[in-house]
Amino acid sequence: MQNVDEKDMEKSKKFVEEALKTNENFTYSVDRQKAIQIGFAVDQVTNMAMFYENLPTEQVKFLEEGKQVAVKGDNQIKPMFVPALPWVVYISLQELIALLTALGLAGVAQQFLKDVYTHGIKQACKKFSKKHKKIKDFCKNNGYPTK
């Protein structure tokens, strides 16, 4: 897997804020021009657009609800997390998904999101941390078990 630096994190954050649009019917559309302006390559933008535009509506709702509320608890896992360590650059679940997709790991992103949606963040972190450093970092930084 490619090395991911702070610049990649910033690009993913900007992508979620500026290029990812939520439609009224709980689907996503991607402003491809904006994503390219942010600094993603055309093939990365294509991968990200295909990924986001094909997400099931219940997963879109799940991600969108999470933007409104930052909750950390067993029964109320939401996609936006409060960082466990304030000095760590933390990213939201949406930004992690954008980053993985940009790196050509849409399949991993899809499975991780599905597991988070179905089984909760703790189980998903335990399952995916072994194989994927970015997911492990994300889970560790947000205080979730990786083993």
Query: Residue 40 domain-assigned?
Result: yes
What pLDDT sits at residue 39? 93
Cβ within 8 Å of residue 18, ≥6 positions away: 31, 34, 38
Query: Residue 147 domain-assigned?
Result: no
What pLDDT sits at residue 36? 95
Cβ within 8 Å of residue 101, ≥6 positions away: 44, 47, 48, 51, 52, 109
Query: Residue 59 domain-assigned?
Result: yes
Any idea which residue has 């998904």 for tokens?
97
Rg (CA), the chain: 14
Query: Residue 146 domain-assigned?
Result: no
Q: pLDDT: is 2 or 87 the higher one?
A: 2
Long-range contacts of 80-83 (CB under 8 A, 24+ apart): 81/121, 81/142, 81/143, 82/142, 83/141, 83/142, 83/143
The Cα–Cα gap between 15 and 100 comes to: 13
Q: pLDDT: is 84 or 130 the higher one?
A: 130
Closest CA to 105 of 51, 41, 42, 144: 51
Mean pLDDT of 43-71: 76
List pLDDT tens digits, range 20-36: 888 999 888 999 999 99
Range of the domain at 96: 6-141
Query: Residue 78 domain-assigned?
Result: yes
Q: How many CB atoms lie within 10 A of CB 87?
A: 6
Query: Residue 117 domain-assigned?
Result: yes
pTM for the whole structure: 0.67
Query: Residue 65 domain-assigned?
Result: yes
The Cα–Cα gap between 129 and 15 comes to: 24
List pLDDT tens digits, range 60-111: 887 776 654 443 443 444 444 443 333 334 467 778 888 888 878 888 888 8
Query: Residue 18 domain-assigned?
Result: yes
Q: How many domains does the chain have?
A: 1
